[in-house]
Structure 1
């Protein structure tokens, strides 16, 4: 299991209804996109960070492992705004792009933290069965659940093939590593098709009729949590309005 999925099952907000956490995290996300980057997105990002590390109880190392790759994409997206091509010299620093790069980084980082506030506190197993009640077609939720399950099967297959290749000194040189990676991709591809075929046969033998019925644990909505969320979102809007220069 991935560290973020393990945190979603072990955090303090796991017993809460997914709708409560969706209202909070998606509400902060909407404010991140609508309000000015400074100070609106800065406030929403800071709140999401405090909530996920404080009340939700996510470990700092788990949060860092979840955000480091997306933050790399954010930093990569900033680079074109900081340089200018053409002229003399051909590649030069562009000071006018610094404010735009800062706005991009601030808004993207805040949006990432808002999404992680939901992803790190809500397991997919709690969310997907409840989407049917919102009118999402069962085929969509079942494909999402099977895809989610297949990710772990593929990671397990990839790990097994890599360990077998490492045991045969398949990564001792660069040439051997490239050859091992090619064989690794082919082996995982074949295993994925075999797993899919076996899954289809298993569903057919169990009388699959187009929907998978699962028991969902009842989690009542907390009026106090919903009210506190609405107050918090309104406070963010008010604080941004007061702090925005006129």
Structure 2
């Protein structure tokens, strides 16, 4: 089982209505992306952290560990916006390198901060949904939204095959390590190629075996699973509506950088 699945099945928010959690995450993400508002992004980031750590019971260190990877990627990707190579220093900062400057403008710094906070807040909202809602509950919400049944079943089978592929890859990698298949770079590259090819062959075989097993159990084109239904609560709906309204008000605020916000 993936670590994220372990977290969502042990979360204290596990039995909160899945539709409420999906609406909270998706509505907040849409508002943040459309507005690019820094106050709205900060509010969403704090709210997702509070709900996941304080209410959901996820350890703060584990939450921060999952946020570190997208944050590191965002810091690298925004370097093109933040740093320029120019013969003339700009108004935010300037580091001389020979006859040129590694420099940036106040507007570029503001855009970089805005992009990082917006993306990180959206990721935190999706992490909140992933850490507190099992995949079966999310699929039940999609089904209630009248998504095509075929699409939902493909998502369910794909989700199932993730675990099968990880299990096969783990056992094959352990076998290669036991036979010194990674003793040097050349051997390691050859072993990775063999692992990828054998993993593809095993996946095809297991897909055929799975379909045969479903056919032997009178498969008629629909996968029926038992789901737990948690009714929505009025207090939770009111809290979500109040939060989204506050987020909308913050999103409507002007987002231009103040003239002297960088010294």
TM-score (norm 1): 0.90
Give the structure 2 partner of residue 205 of structure 1.
216
CA contact (8 A) 1:45 1:114 kept: yes
Aligned-residue offset at 1:155 = 0.6
Which one is further off, 141-150 or 209-218? 209-218
Aligned-residue offset at 1:208 = 1.3
State which of 107, 120, 123 in structure 2 corresponds to 1:112. 123
Residues 190/61 of structure 1: CA separation in 2 closer, same or farther (3 Å cut): farther
Q: Give me the whole-angstrom Cα distance separating, in 2, the residues matched to 1:195 and 1:91.
A: 59
Residues 70-117 of structure 1 show CA distances to partners (whole Å, capped at 9, x for unaligned) of 333322321221333687979852412322211111110011111111
Q: Give me the whole-angstrom Cα distance separating, in 2, the residues matched to 1:238 and 1:82.
A: 28
Correspondence 1:151 to 2:157? no
> Is the radius of gyration larger for structure 1 or structure 2?
2
Correspondence 1:93 to 2:107? no
Give the structure 2 partner of residue 17 of structure 1.
17
Which one is further off, 121-130 or 147-156? 121-130
Give the structure 1 partner of residue 237 of structure 2.
226
State which of 198, 206, 211 in structure 2 corresponds to 1:187. 198
Q: Give me the whole-angstrom Cα distance separating, in 2, the residues matched to 1:90 and 1:3.
A: 51
Q: Give me the whole-angstrom Cα distance separating, in 2, the residues matched to 1:86 and 1:195.
A: 57
Residues 91/5 of structure 1: CA separation in 2 closer, same or farther (3 Å cut): farther
Residues 126/104 of structure 1: CA separation in 2 closer, same or farther (3 Å cut): same
Residues 122-173 of structure 1 show CA distances to partners (whole Å, capped at 9, x for unaligned) of 0001221342222111111100000001111111111000000000111111
State which of 169, 173, 178 in structure 1 corresponds to 2:189. 178
Count how many residue pairs are aligned between Structure 1 and Structure 2: 246
Structural mapping, 1:102-141, within 5 Å? 102-141=113-152
Which one is further off, 213-222 or 135-144? 213-222
Residues 26-72 of structure 1 show CA distances to partners (whole Å, capped at 9, x for unaligned) of 23223322334322211221211121111112122432343333333
CA contact (8 A) 1:82 1:93 kept: no
Which one is further off, 175-184 or 27-36? 27-36
Question: Which 5+ residue runs of structure 2 have no aligned equivalent?
Answer: 89-97, 259-263
Give the structure 2 partner of residue 3 of structure 1.
3
Question: Which 5+ residue runs of structure 1 have no aligned equivalent?
Answer: none
Residues 210/54 of structure 1: CA separation in 2 closer, same or farther (3 Å cut): same
In terms of fraction of residues, the more helix-rich structure is: 1
CA contact (8 A) 1:3 1:62 kept: no
TM-score (norm 2): 0.84
CA contact (8 A) 2:86 2:103 kept: no
Aligned-residue offset at 1:229 = 1.2
Residues 242/147 of structure 1: CA separation in 2 closer, same or farther (3 Å cut): closer
Give the structure 2 partner of residue 38 of structure 1.
38
Q: Give me the whole-angstrom Cα distance separating, in 2, the residues matched to 1:58 and 1:93.
A: 41
